[in-house]
Amino acid sequence: MKQTRLIASLFLILGLVLAGCGGGAPQEAEMAEEPAMEEEASSEDEAMADDDMMMGDFTGQVVQYNTIAEYEAATGNEIATFQQSPMLDAAVADGTLPPVEERLPDEPLVMQPADQIGEYGGTMRNTHEGNFDFLEDLLREFPHVYGSNMQGVLPNVFMNAETSADGLSTTFTIRPGIKWSDGHPFGADDFVFWYEAIAANEELNPNGVNNMKVGGEMGTVTKVDENTIVMAFKAPYGVLLERLNRWRPMPYAPAHYLKQFHPDYTDPDDVNALAEERGFSNWVELFQAEHDWYGNPDEPTIFAWKAVTRGASVPVQELERNPYYWKIDTAGNQLPYVDRINRPNLGDREAILLDVIAGQTDYMNPYTLGYLTNYPVLKQNEESGGYRVLPQFGWSDVLGVVTFNMSIDDDVLRELFRNKEFRVALSIGYDRDRINEVVFNGLYKPSQVAPPDASVYNGADPGFKLHTEHDPDRANEILDGLGLTWNEDQSQRLLPDGRPFELSAQVHTGWVQQVPIAELIAQGWEDIGLKTTIVPLEGRLHTERRLAGDYELQVRPVNWAGQAPIIGAMRGEPMPISNSWLVNPPWAQYVMSGGAEGEEPPDAVKRLYEIFEEFIAEPDAQKRFDLESEMYKIHQDNLWVIGSIKQPGDLEAVWYAVFSNRMYNIPNPVAPEWYYAAPETWAYRSE
């Protein structure tokens, strides 16, 4: 007998399970017969809501149906015909493309837009700084997805799932008839190819893929038929379905295209010769360049849009609609509505802000716009700029997080950095309240790194406030006790070996507030004798320095957990499951490799990795809650990193998205990641 977990209804309510931490224990996932609503409603209200849905009223959020039959049964409406964008008419007329009925799958996914049935056409404009930032959110199709209000789990590429009674295997039904953007069938072979050629390939993934591991061992992906696969593991994978909602990179790849670049499927001599001809040092670099949905227009995709231009550095990144996209609206229109996306490279954030204020940008995120810093000027220019600032579900980041190079080559500094008392002295050696007032107008709150405050996350636990008080007297006492004496004029402390104590803090500039936060931290430390130099670095270089061990301190934002889709115990920031782990990369490398790489960590770090493995295998929500709580307690007890200021996740001045008035069908509030706001249903208003 098998235990079945279907995801074919509108919503599989996960409730608090998604967070998996804090407050009262979350409940196990249950099936829901109606779309999840944000607020509780009376029976009369529910009846009215049902009537409205039957009439096809729109809700301000996207509503998704697994099949046409499900939509028709739920609403009483019928989808009898399919339509396509006029952009494709000529190609169909001359035989280049099949008719829309033949391009759609056997069971198209049905999307009810937030506001109304959209019109086809238009080119969305989204500026950037010369990279692919936030393009990923437009080019994703997870096996399962969260709804745009982040309240449930919906079918997507997978139509349903059936887990064995022992929890060791899950059988997934792939939506039949999906096609790649070149018209080639999509199915089980593409998942198996991803597993065998990419995930399990030692040259592409020397340590395997964490998402595929339970108990430190990789699972398997096998084909049952063209539209069915089985994922199997050595131990139960209690959070597999939830994890598939945010599985990155995608667990599938176009086998028919990529095999030509892989030595397991094409003569290795030919592949290596092609790599050399293309200027790559080996086949791995060639394969990675070809498997790039953002920058390689030749690679087929199943996303709503596909790349037209090559690489990130072009003056304008261009995308166009995928003629084989497999979702429709409730009127039978093949999605997306928008035909094209243009992403001009403006070079820096000031230019992007001015472009937004001038009404030239169609959508932009708060990260690029500077969150709270530029919210007032954006609101002030809303009407004249022809755009609107919409609230967005937000994460609860902690800003000004200080991390230490626990494996630094300098023996004296390494001993200090690994000493908790030294870290406590630094934590209480600066004034978080002053940072809050100067940088955030008092709207944030002092905190160590923590999840959100809501009861389901337990972020308000007093343990996350430990050592956040400003106490320079006690900080000085600790430093004195560690043998960090003052120089003759009492202007600077000395290391135990007599060298002047001068710290260097590399600051991640991706968040505009990080540098002023770091400068105020440094002022506090200089008052207790620790001279600190601030070194601003853009995000990629900041990460490269961390991976190379080329830093003393780093300052950055950190997100341990948030509203769905983030689950704290599965994140590579609190858990040692990333080669760039913020606590100490070599420690993470050690536990991930079973001791073959990196540096042996303290027992508490080993316990964190055990918690991670137990968490992903555990099917019981209460036990997962307990494990995640233990994870947070370990961090509180050790203070490996120092947090400064906690960003509220429900403050519109922090979490917002800007959309031009040309755009409509935007969920309000907007989901925290563009993908969950269903951009395929956004529409562009013709002039």
**pLDDT level of residue 687 (50, 70, 90 thresholds):** low
| Residue where the block lists tokens 């004029």 | 489
Lowest-confidence pick of 42-56, 167-181, 328-342, 555-569: 42-56
Lowest-confidence pick of 223-232, 278-287, 450-459, 611-620: 450-459
| 687 vs 121: CA distance, rounded Å | 11
H-helix or E-strand containing 269? helix 268-277
Could you give the 3-state DSSP secondary structure of residue 121? Answer: coil
Q: What is the pLDDT of residue 46?
A: 35
pTM recorded for the entire structure: 0.78
Tokens representing 369 are 């716009």
Output the CA–CA distances (angstroms, integers) from residue 530 to 425, 492, 631, in the order listed.
11, 6, 31
Q: Which residues make Cβ contacts (< 8 Å) with residue 238, sequence separation at least 6?
A: 167, 615, 616, 617, 618, 619, 620, 624
Q: What is the pLDDT of residue 300?
A: 98
For range 76-104, the mean pLDDT: 98
H-helix or E-strand containing 23? none
* Four-point Cα dihedral 636, 637, 640, 646, nearest 10: 20
Percent of the chain with pLDDT over 70: 88
Q: What is the pLDDT of residues 625-675, one digit of tens each?
A: 889 889 999 999 999 999 999 987 667 777 899 999 999 999 998 887 777
Tokens representing 169 are 């295997």
Q: What is the pLDDT of residue 51?
A: 36
For range 148-156, the mean pLDDT: 73
For range 39-64, the mean pLDDT: 52
Could you give the 3-state DSSP secondary structure of residue 550? Answer: coil
Q: What is the pLDDT of residues 214-247, one digit of tens each?
A: 878 899 999 999 999 999 999 899 889 888 888 8
Q: What is the pLDDT of residues 340-364, one digit of tens each?
A: 999 999 988 899 999 999 999 999 9
Could you say which architecture CATH assigns to the domain 398-646? Roll (3.10)
3-state DSSP helix/strand/coil % of the chain, to nearest 5: 35, 20, 50
With helix as H, strand as E and coil as C, how does 58-91 read? CCCCCEEECCHHHHHHHHCCCCCCCECCHHHHHH
Q: What is the pLDDT of residues 298-328, one digit of tens each?
A: 999 999 999 999 988 899 999 999 999 999 9
For range 395-419, the mean pLDDT: 94
Count the neighbouring beta carbons within 10 Å of the beta carbon of residue 50. 13
Alpha helices in 291-419 (DSSP H): 349-357, 366-369, 375-380, 382-385, 411-417
Nearest to 141 by CA among 237, 246, 49: 246
Report domain extents, the chain: 398-646
| 404 vs 414: CA distance, rounded Å | 9
* Four-point Cα dihedral 131, 134, 138, 142, nearest 10: 110
Pick the residue with more confidence: 24 or 433?
433
H-helix or E-strand containing 308? none
Residue 368 predicted with pLDDT over 60: yes
